Amino acid sequence: MIDQLLKGNSQFIAGEFKPNKKYYESIADRQTPTVLWIGCSDSRVSEDVITSARPGTMFVHRNVANIIAFNDVNMASILEYGVVHLKIADIIVCGHTRCGGIAAIEDGVHENYIADWLCIASGAKDITDRIAKENKLTRQEKLELLTVENVKLQIKHLQNLALIKNLHAKGKSPRIHGWLYRVETGEINVLIDGRTGRSAPDLIKIENRGAGRSAAKSRQKPVKTSRKK
C-alpha cells in the first residue's frame, strides 16, 4: 500500500499539479479556505473527494463520530484558528451512514478511551432510544436516526462554545451547517441549513420516515411569516 501511495503522488504531480501549477503556487504562499469541515475519521469519508473540492478550499478536523468536545484542546485550537485567523464563515458538521462510532454508541463499547470519547454523544442516544421505542424502529432506521441526532447534538455543542457564542452575539458568522453523507450512495443530505439555521427538507424527510410524521412535526420550529397590512 505504501508503494501505491507514493506512485499515486507521482500521478498527482503529473496529472494535476503540473497542469495547474499556477493555482498550486498561489496557495503555497497562503491558505484561504472558506469552509471548516468537522467530520468523522472514517477512511470512506474523504471530504475533498465526496465534494470534489480542490486543495486550499477546506480547513479540516476529523475524529471518531465527528464529535465536538468542550475540553478538546485540538478542536478548540482548530476552531479558533479557522474562524479568527482564517476568517472562515461556514462550518460543516458532517456525519455519515454505516459509521462504526455510531454503532458503538448504540451497542456499547468496553475499550477505555473509545468509551470515554463516545460518552460525549450520549445525549443523542437518549433521544434516539425514546423515539425508536415509541415508533418501533428497525436497527438500520435507529442507527440512521442516531447519526442524525448526533450531528444535531454536536452542532449544539459547537454553538455553546464561548468562542462561537461571542461571535454570534456580534453577527451570524460563522454559519453552522449539518450534513449527512451516505456511504452507500455517495449522496450528501443537508440536515441543517446554516444560512437560515433551520431544519432542511432532507432532515424533515429522515425524521418523518424514521420517527413518524407526528413526532417529526412536534420537533419542527414554526416558521414565522410576515403579513403586509
Strands 198-199, 188-193: pairing kind: antiparallel
Q: Domains of the chain by range and CATH?
A: 32-219 (3.40.1050.10)
C-alpha cell, 207: 425524521
Share of the chain above pLDDT 90, in %: 82
pLDDT, tens digit, 9 for 90 and up, residues 191-202? 999 998 888 888
Residue among 92, 94, 20, 80 nearest 54 (CA): 20
Check residue 221 and give its pLDDT: 54
pTM above 0.85, yes or no: yes
Average pLDDT, the chain: 91
Mean pLDDT of 153-171: 96
Q: In this model, does residue 212 exceed pLDDT 80?
A: no
Q: Are 159 and 93 in contact (CB under 8 A)?
A: no
Q: Which tens digit of pLDDT belongs to each residue from 126-159?
A: 999 999 999 999 999 999 999 999 999 999 999 9
pLDDT tens sequence across 62-104: 999 999 999 899 999 999 999 999 999 999 999 999 999 999 9
